[in-house]
A and B are shown apart, each in its own frame.
Chain A
């Protein structure tokens, strides 16, 4: 029974750990491109900033799914 408990923790850690890779890379790319765009055209900053938040939150959602999965494994 204890082995099963241990496997649960490993599964939860792997779930969030592997799930965060993709969205980490994606968010970095969004930030890099947005900052590049603002640097080229500073007047567009006001238009780009809300879009950064929206797209980042969408990109983040895969990490959030794996976080929810690992939270369900741990506490559900």
Chain B
């Protein structure tokens, strides 16, 4: 049994010194087809919708309703919606396009045989870029909603220590406040780790699911062709849609967490 599985995408051809891998090629195909689809609907917009327009209207209305149910502010929801929904549509189309038959097409290149098809999201480079876009957007939203000092204060939290020293100058030694101060600093530093863990978890979840689906399908195809891969194909059809949904929803959650001011902060502001 010889399986040809590699974590890195295979390079199809080179434009100048820029290597074009099979997953990059399909990413461009997916993006362009998505743009053409949306633009045709946009310019053939009718009062009485046709079939495709009606389908898209249902999809977009449902998405906007869902975003509003989480963000709760209509104007902000309309600002967040394009990013989240584009991520959802792009990931879903990129995952579903792998179910078009003909995945076994092989190109002869200089070094040997290279398969033309590869799931876009099984290339870690593309997934990490999308994750960075999502996480950095959430960070920028947090900076805007908390202000730069409030944002930094969330991670470098010295308010407990300040209280301890102000009590110390008054001649009172309170060890409980000291412990609280150290705990605050430690929790703030753990929040930084949490932000980095967001990048890792969000990207590996999508990449791992799609890549594992591909490998699983391939192994099952070797074990017993025709019949055994079928249930797993259905399973990965479900995964394709659910993972796109999860990626978009988690991006939405990060942004909505960045928008919200904690109740504790509100209490602190009320007391100060």
Chain B residues with CB under 8 Å of A64's CB are 204-205, 208-209, 212
In the complex, A71 has a CB within 8 A of chain B: yes
Chain B residues with CB under 8 Å of A61's CB are 201, 204-205, 208
Q: At the interface with chain B, which of A26-34, A37-45, A49-57?
A: A49-57
Chain B residues with CB under 8 Å of A71's CB are 5, 7, 211-212, 215
In the complex, A65 has a CB within 8 A of chain B: yes
In the complex, A58 has a CB within 8 A of chain B: yes
B7: contacting residue among A57, A60, A75, CB under 8 A:
A75
Q: At the interface with chain A, which of B40-48, B90-98, B239-247?
A: B239-247
Kindly supply a per-residue 1/0 record for chain B positions 190-204, scoring 1 wherever the CB is within 8 Å of any chain A CB and 0 otherwise: 000000000001001
Min CB–CB distance B216 → chain A (angstroms) = 10
* A53-B242 in contact (CB<8A): yes
Task: State the CA gap A53–B205 with chains docked (Å).
Answer: 13
* B215-A57 in contact (CB<8A): no
- Size bin of chain B's contact surface: 10 to 19
In the complex, A68 has a CB within 8 A of chain B: yes
Question: Which of B204, B208, B209 has the most chain A CB within a 10 Å cutoff?
Answer: B208
* B246-A68 in contact (CB<8A): no
Min CB–CB distance A31 → chain B (angstroms) = 14
- Size bin of chain A's contact surface: 10 to 19
In the complex, A76 has a CB within 8 A of chain B: yes
* B211-A57 in contact (CB<8A): no
In the complex, A35 has a CB within 8 A of chain B: no
Chain A residues with CB under 8 Å of B250's CB are 54, 58
A-B contact pairs, 9 of them (CB 8 A): A50-B245, A53-B242, A53-B245, A53-B246, A57-B243, A61-B205, A67-B212, A68-B204, A76-B7
Chain A residues with CB under 8 Å of B246's CB are 53-54, 57-58
By a beta-carbon cutoff of 8 Å, the part of chain A in contact with chain B is 50, 53-54, 57-58, 60-61, 64-65, 67-68, 71-72, 74-76
Task: State the CA gap A64–B212 with chains docked (Å).
Answer: 8
Interface residues of B in 151-169 (CB under 8 A from A): none
In the complex, B52 has a CB within 8 A of chain A: no
Task: State the CA gap A60–B256 with chains docked (Å).
Answer: 23
Q: A53-B245, A53-B246, A57-B243 are in contact. Are A68 and B207 (CB under 8 A)?
A: yes
Task: State the CA gap A65–B204 with chains docked (Å).
Answer: 7
Task: State the CA gap A50–B215 with chains docked (Å).
Answer: 27
Taking A57-B209, A68-B212 as given, write out 4 further A-B residue pairs in contact, using a Cβ cutoff of 8 Å, ordered by the A residue number: A54-B250, A65-B204, A67-B208, A75-B7
Q: A53-B242, A54-B245, A54-B249 are in contact. Are A65 and B208 (CB under 8 A)?
A: yes
Chain A residue nearest in CB terms to B202 = A61
Min CB–CB distance A47 → chain B (angstroms) = 9
In the complex, B267 has a CB within 8 A of chain A: no
Task: State the CA gap A54–B205 with chains docked (Å).
Answer: 12
In the complex, B6 has a CB within 8 A of chain A: yes
Task: State the CA gap A54–B204 with chains docked (Å).
Answer: 15
